[in-house]
Chains A and B, each alone.
Chain A
Amino acid sequence: MSRICFVACTSSGTVAYSQVVMPGAYRRPIGATGPAAITTLRQVTRAMRGSDWEGVRLHVVTGKGGTGKTTVAAALAIALANGGRRTLLVEVEGRQGIAGLFDSPPLPYQERRVALAPDGGEVMALAIDPEAALLEYLELFYRAGRAGKMLDRIGAIDFATTIAPGLRDVLLTGKAYEATNRRQAGVPVYDAVVMDAPPTGRITRFLNVNSEVAGLARVGPIRNQADAIMRLIGSPQTAVHLVTVLEEMPVQETTDGVAQLEAAGLQVGGIVVNMVRTSPLRAREIDAAARGGLDVEQVAAGLTAVGLPEGSARGLLAEARRHALRVQLERAERRSLAGLARPTYELPLVHGGIDLGALYELSARLTAGGAA
């Protein structure tokens, strides 16, 4: 809907993007970054491109361990907050990865602001702790008060969240569900919730809370809770994005993950190809380099021209070969990802590690690519 409206607006020459693409912006203007400020080039480009995930309110980010789930989830939360919106970044694995990324002390079980979006907007974060979530839940539904503390003291909470089949997952997804649906004065508190989720191998089971708690409860509050969560997760308001790098194992996992998610009836979102390297060589040169077919004399002549030892030509060609073989493999992995026919976003390999600046850079790429 918003895209159609936007086309109409531009054709008439008005610059009223905010009304159509950023509902959050006029709902809750922050400082000077209300609708009036939204005329930067980047925003215009973004508005023209539109987001591929219009209408999605819960973004689940999965992927093989180490491919950059936490990093991408954070960058996406920033991108989605752009333009005066507010997003919540949640983590569910008790690793305090978000705190590490934003260089903040460990997150308590409490929503905290971790970043501002460059064009206005804020990113809140929450580390969901299943034990705290269970206590909260008991309190909410049973006013468990003293009994809750007692349960905690004797280790019942630990026990229940550790081995009760599926309970842990229902609590974790349940909290994300609550935050996604939370309203204040009739208005959603968060424009979007981004979940730094468990890895691909576990994601389908994790999200499929319904079958998870089947053995636990057939009726009762947990069952109702699971049904409500499932309605959100299975709806077009939820998208599961997969992060990968251009290597065999992660790409294989991505392919398997997409199949499993689809089989479970969950909406597969985009594929984020992370840590992409660029090559100064042209395609033809890559193939020649990989074959060992680049001309050593030619390179040696170039070296001589700048006063470098011509003998280094062999070394440079050997390095070019390593590089080219790698690029060729990446090409093959890219092809198999293309076979998935999902919106795909590439993020560059950032040299020297991820700091806040790099996160903003990655979030801008996601925006430009249409992920937010």
Chain B
Amino acid sequence: MSAAGPSGHPPLGPTLDLGGLIGDRRIRTVVCCGAGGVGKTTTAAALALHAAERGRNVVVLTIDPARRLAQSMGLTELDNTPRRVPGVDQRAGGSLDAMMLDMKRTFDEIVLAHADEARAQAILDNPFYQSLSSSFAGTQEYMAMEKLGQLRAQADRTGQWDLIVVDTPPSRSALDFLDAPKRLGSFLDGRLIKILLAPAKAGGRAYLRVLNTGFSMVTGALTRVLGAQVLKDVQTFVAAFDTLFGGFRERAESTYRLLKAPGTSFLVVAIPERDALREASYFTERLAEEGMPLGGLVLNRVHATDAPEISPERALAAAEQLEATGAHRLTAELLRLHADRERLIARERHLAERFTAAHPKVGVVEVVARPGDVHDLDGLRDLARDLAWGSASDNAPGAADTRR
């Protein structure tokens, strides 16, 4: 059993040593990515707590924590700045701050920082800005990156944190985190925007001479469908935004570069299901293409066995045998449960092995599915035990018995 991970199974691939990773003071940023609902937020929080209790000064940026988890981390105030998390063991000299991303506010702050007051106000009041800042698919990813950039700068300036752990938005695809900022950029830089800017730049109606009649048809159509006011709002928005745009793009690019810098490590989180592992695969390949450092795969919510010595076939045969005699009904039921569990585990491993076969060098750590949600610091500590499984000091004999 000593070779087994927290699930009681032999390791799937090289072991991901997360205890070692966060113990390495050169690592200053950890980004948790993965498909929606796989446990990114929980993993980020558990890892951050673990690192803090091992002596690091950590800030964790969460995006959409479950309500009870947020409460237990003291994330009740949405003020877009990190707050100290109460109840963290600070004996090793570490600390934990946490914040929850407020996407709209982060966007507003950038606008305020980049434009003079009057212009900023015009943008903030514009209905198109309000729509873009609250619902554009990709704004959340962009703002998460922006916030990461801000926290990094603050950490460098004040020295208050030596580790930033980042959760990523609940997109369908893990790749969105990397793609969205560029998408927002190219959207704001598109042809239409240039055309709409033309009147403002050329002054008055000069654009009518510059552009062909097709364009007046276009504006005509837009005006008829949307109304003249809408078109004017768009133009105001675009014109106001244009002056900001250079700054925006620069920021996005510099944060993107930050992700490639040594000292950053990505963790891909997945559950043992086809879609989630496929996403994890795509993401792993993409990181390699971008030259971004992958820490490894956190395979969350795997099922554990406690009686690996009984195969599912044997368990079922034995259950049937008992049922035929009518005695030992409870034992028969437990054997059936065990057979179901072993079959589920076999399916999970089969899926996970496809990932490890395609990415044999990627380290993996398994986190056992808890029966219930993880919603307090003790729950996070409990998960962290699995996360840090690969570190010798945590992997004490008997630790397996403490798992739920």
- On whether the beta carbons of B225 and A280 are closer than 8 Å, the reply is no
Q: Is B289 an interface residue (CB 8 A)?
A: no
Give the CA-CA distance A128 to B136 in the complex, in Å: 18
- On whether the beta carbons of A159 and B193 are closer than 8 Å, the reply is yes
Q: Is B362 an interface residue (CB 8 A)?
A: no
Residue ID in chain B nearest A141 by CB atoms: B225
Contact residues, A257-306 vs B (CB, 8 A): 279-281, 285, 294-295, 298-299, 301-303, 305-306
The interface bits of chain B over 353-392 (1 if a CB of A lies within 8 angstroms of the residue's CB, else 0) are 0000000000000000001110100000000000000000
Give the CA-CA distance A156 to B66 in the complex, in Å: 38
- On whether the beta carbons of A305 and B334 are closer than 8 Å, the reply is no
- On whether the beta carbons of B225 and A316 are closer than 8 Å, the reply is no
**B187: which A residues are within 8 A, CB to CB?**
158-159, 162
The interface bits of chain B over 304-333 (1 if a CB of A lies within 8 angstroms of the residue's CB, else 0) are 111111100010001001100101101111
- On whether the beta carbons of B218 and A156 are closer than 8 Å, the reply is yes
Give the CA-CA distance A215 to B134 in the complex, in Å: 15
- On whether the beta carbons of B274 and A150 are closer than 8 Å, the reply is no
- Given A218-B227, A298-B330, A308-B314, 17 more A-B residue pairs with CB atoms under 8 Å apart are A142-B224, A150-B215, A154-B195, A162-B187, A164-B131, A217-B227, A217-B230, A247-B373, A305-B325, A305-B331, A306-B322, A308-B310, A317-B334, A319-B305, A319-B307, A319-B337, A323-B341
- On whether the beta carbons of B337 and A220 are closer than 8 Å, the reply is no
Question: What is the interface of chain B mostly: helix, strand, loop, or mixed?
Answer: helix
Q: Is A348 an interface residue (CB 8 A)?
A: no
Which A residues fall within an 8 A CB radius of B? 64-66, 95, 138, 141-142, 144, 146-148, 150-151, 154-156, 158-160, 162-166, 215-222, 247-249, 252, 279-281, 285, 294-295, 298-299, 301-303, 305-309, 312, 314-320, 322-323, 325-326, 329, 351-353
The interface bits of chain B over 18-50 (1 if a CB of A lies within 8 angstroms of the residue's CB, else 0) are 000000000000000000110000000000000
- On whether the beta carbons of A325 and B371 are closer than 8 Å, the reply is yes
Q: Top 6 nearest A-B pairs by Cβ distance?
A: A302-B331, A315-B307, A302-B328, A325-B371, A315-B306, A318-B306
**A316: which B residues are within 8 A, CB to CB?**
306-307, 331, 334-335, 337-338
- On whether the beta carbons of A155 and B190 are closer than 8 Å, the reply is yes
- On whether the beta carbons of B321 and A294 are closer than 8 Å, the reply is no
- On whether the beta carbons of A142 and B221 are closer than 8 Å, the reply is yes
- On whether the beta carbons of A155 and B371 are closer than 8 Å, the reply is no
Give the CA-CA distance A317 to B337 in the complex, in Å: 10
**A159: which B residues are within 8 A, CB to CB?**
187, 190, 192-193, 234
Which B residues fall within an 8 A CB radius of A? 36-37, 66-68, 127-128, 130-132, 136, 170, 172, 187, 190-193, 195, 214-215, 217-218, 220-222, 224-227, 230, 234, 274, 304-310, 314, 318, 321-322, 325, 327-328, 330-338, 341, 343-344, 347, 371-373, 375, 404
**B318: which A residues are within 8 A, CB to CB?**
303, 306-308
**Of A285, A299, A353, which is within 8 A of B274 by CB?**
A353
- On whether the beta carbons of A151 and B222 are closer than 8 Å, the reply is yes
- On whether the beta carbons of B136 and A163 are closer than 8 Å, the reply is yes
**B221: which A residues are within 8 A, CB to CB?**
138, 142, 144, 147-148, 151
**B225: which A residues are within 8 A, CB to CB?**
138, 141-142, 220-222
**Of B218, B226, B341, B371, which is within 8 A of A147 by CB?**
B218
Question: What is the interface of chain A mostly: helix, strand, loop, or mixed?
Answer: helix
Give the CA-CA distance A238 to B347 in the complex, in Å: 40
- On whether the beta carbons of B335 and A352 are closer than 8 Å, the reply is no
- On whether the beta carbons of A285 and B230 are closer than 8 Å, the reply is no
**A306: which B residues are within 8 A, CB to CB?**
318, 321-322
Give the CA-CA distance A273 to B4 in the complex, in Å: 35
Selected A-B contacts with CB under 8 Å, 25 pairs: A66-B36, A141-B225, A142-B221, A147-B217, A148-B221, A150-B215, A155-B190, A220-B227, A252-B67, A280-B333, A294-B330, A298-B328, A298-B330, A298-B331, A299-B330, A301-B331, A302-B328, A305-B322, A305-B327, A306-B318, A306-B322, A308-B314, A319-B306, A352-B347, A353-B274
Give the CA-CA distance A358 to B94 in the complex, in Å: 51
Interface centre among B172, B230, B331, B375 (most CB of A within 10 A): B331
**A164: which B residues are within 8 A, CB to CB?**
128, 131, 226, 230
Give the CA-CA distance A77 to B225 in the complex, in Å: 34
- On whether the beta carbons of B218 and A216 are closer than 8 Å, the reply is no
Chain B min CB distance to A263 (Å):
19
- On whether the beta carbons of A156 and B192 are closer than 8 Å, the reply is yes
**Of A158, A248, A309, which is within 8 A of B309 by CB?**
A309
Give the CA-CA distance A144 to B224 in the complex, in Å: 11
- On whether the beta carbons of B170 and A65 are closer than 8 Å, the reply is yes
Give the CA-CA distance A352 to B190 in the complex, in Å: 45
Chain A min CB distance to B311 (Å):
11
Give the CA-CA distance A95 to B68 in the complex, in Å: 31
**B336: which A residues are within 8 A, CB to CB?**
280
Chain B min CB distance to A339 (Å):
17
Give the CA-CA distance A65 to B170 in the complex, in Å: 9
- On whether the beta carbons of B172 and A95 are closer than 8 Å, the reply is yes
**Of B309, B327, B373, which is within 8 A of A312 by CB?**
B309
Chain A min CB distance to B189 (Å):
10
- On whether the beta carbons of B334 and A299 are closer than 8 Å, the reply is yes
Residue ID in chain A nearest B35 by CB atoms: A66
**Of B37, B192, B222, B372, which is within 8 A of A326 by CB?**
B372
Give the CA-CA distance A322 to B370 in the complex, in Å: 8
**A155: which B residues are within 8 A, CB to CB?**
190-193
- On whether the beta carbons of A165 and B127 are closer than 8 Å, the reply is yes
Give the CA-CA distance A222 to B223 in the complex, in Å: 12
Residue ID in chain A nearest B68 by CB atoms: A248
Give the CA-CA distance A281 to B333 in the complex, in Å: 7
Give the CA-CA distance A320 to B338 in the complex, in Å: 8
Chain B min CB distance to A186 (Å):
31
Give the CA-CA distance A298 to B130 in the complex, in Å: 66
- On whether the beta carbons of B131 and A163 are closer than 8 Å, the reply is yes
**A248: which B residues are within 8 A, CB to CB?**
66, 68, 372-373, 375
Give the CA-CA distance A252 to B128 in the complex, in Å: 32
- On whether the beta carbons of B334 and A249 are closer than 8 Å, the reply is no
Chain B min CB distance to A70 (Å):
11
- On whether the beta carbons of B337 and A249 are closer than 8 Å, the reply is no
Give the CA-CA distance A46 to B224 in the complex, in Å: 50
**A320: which B residues are within 8 A, CB to CB?**
334, 337
**B332: which A residues are within 8 A, CB to CB?**
302
- On whether the beta carbons of A319 and B338 are closer than 8 Å, the reply is yes
**B343: which A residues are within 8 A, CB to CB?**
351
Give the CA-CA distance A354 to B96 in the complex, in Å: 42
**B330: which A residues are within 8 A, CB to CB?**
285, 294-295, 298-299, 302
- On whether the beta carbons of A299 and B136 are closer than 8 Å, the reply is no
**A64: which B residues are within 8 A, CB to CB?**
37
Chain A min CB distance to B35 (Å):
8
**B371: which A residues are within 8 A, CB to CB?**
322, 325-326, 329
**B322: which A residues are within 8 A, CB to CB?**
302, 305-306
Tell me whether A156 and B226 are in contact in the complex, defined as CB-CB below 8 angstroms, given that A320-B337, A351-B347 are known contacts: no
